[in-house]
Amino acid sequence: MLFTIGLLHGCIPLEDRIDLIYETWCAPPREEVVGCVYDGDTFYTGGCQLSAEEDFRVLGVQAPELGPSSESGDSECYGDEAASFLDDLIMGREVSLEFDVECVGTFDRTLAWVFLEGTEVEVVSLLDDLGGLGLVEEGRYRVLVNELMIRAGYATVYRGDVASNIRYVDRLEEAEDQAEAEGLGLWNECVN
């Protein structure tokens, strides 16, 4: 009987079997070009403001707020640096998006795990300094941006959207522990 089931499974085209993997996630992966970075954990496709096609929230990441978004009206400690880092990293680039259990979060933003691939020397050097995070071969990377933001000290783990979206949460928590232990970014500059 088991042999018969194995034979039947072997007759199903590979692409049909792969789709089964994504049944637990709210949407299949896709590629998008970043049109605007709003802050250290939010970006848009298509451009900023009214021309934006879709708003994305970098899942599991809590970057310090910028100016008018914060309660005081001023940017929170390291907010400008976090926004600038994310902008330099992904603005105008194609990113691979993966999803989790929930696709839409607060303010109707699409919740996404964001991957960036490339060969830019500056990014390779940064990743090498962070213990080889995301390096896949000599001079090439595929990095989880969510993890990188936290590991480099530009953000902390946002546990509000991680409660049910757990796909990469262990990686984020480990990245936060490492950044805090090394006193990187906001762990060095900001009083918590």
What global pTM score does this model have? 0.84
At 7 the pLDDT is 47
Q: Topology of domain 29-189, per CATH?
A: OB fold (Dihydrolipoamide Acetyltransferase, E2P) (2.40.50)
* Kind and range of the H or E run holding 128: helix 121-129
Lowest mean pLDDT among 55-59, 69-73, 132-136, 148-152: 69-73
Listed in order, strand segments (DSSP E) in 9-102 are 30-39, 42-45, 54-58, 61-62, 94-98
At 60 the pLDDT is 94
Three-state secondary structure of 140-164? EEEEEHHHHHHHCCCCEECCCCCCC
Contact 147, 59 (CB under 8 A): no
Give 6's pLDDT tier (boundaries 50, 70, 90).
Answer: very low
The partner residues of 98 in beta bridges, in order of sequence, read 113
User: Which residues make Cβ contacts (< 8 Å) with residue 132, sequence separation at least 6?
Assistant: none
**Region 88-117 average pLDDT:** 95
Range list of H helices, 74-120: 79-90
Q: Which range in 53-62, 103-112, 149-158 is most confidently predicted, on average pLDDT?
A: 149-158
pLDDT score of 86 more than 80: yes
At 74 the pLDDT is 81
Lowest mean pLDDT among 21-25, 28-32, 99-103: 21-25
pLDDT score of 183 more than 50: yes
At 23 the pLDDT is 58
Cα pseudo-dihedral 114, 115, 116, 119, rounded to 10: 160
Q: Say how many CA atoms lie within 13 Å of 63 toward its Cβ.
A: 33
- List pLDDT tens digits, range 31-76: 999 999 999 999 999 877 666 689 999 999 999 999 775 566 688 9
Percent of the chain with pLDDT strictly greater than 70: 80
Mean pLDDT of the chain: 87
- Give the residue from 20, 32, 25, 177 showing the smallest Cα distance to 115: 32
Q: Which residue has the higher pLDDT, 120 or 11?
A: 120
d(CA 98, CA 102): 11
Residues 77-89 as b or e (16 or more Cβ within 10 Å = b) = bbbebbbebbbeb
**Region 170-190 average pLDDT:** 97
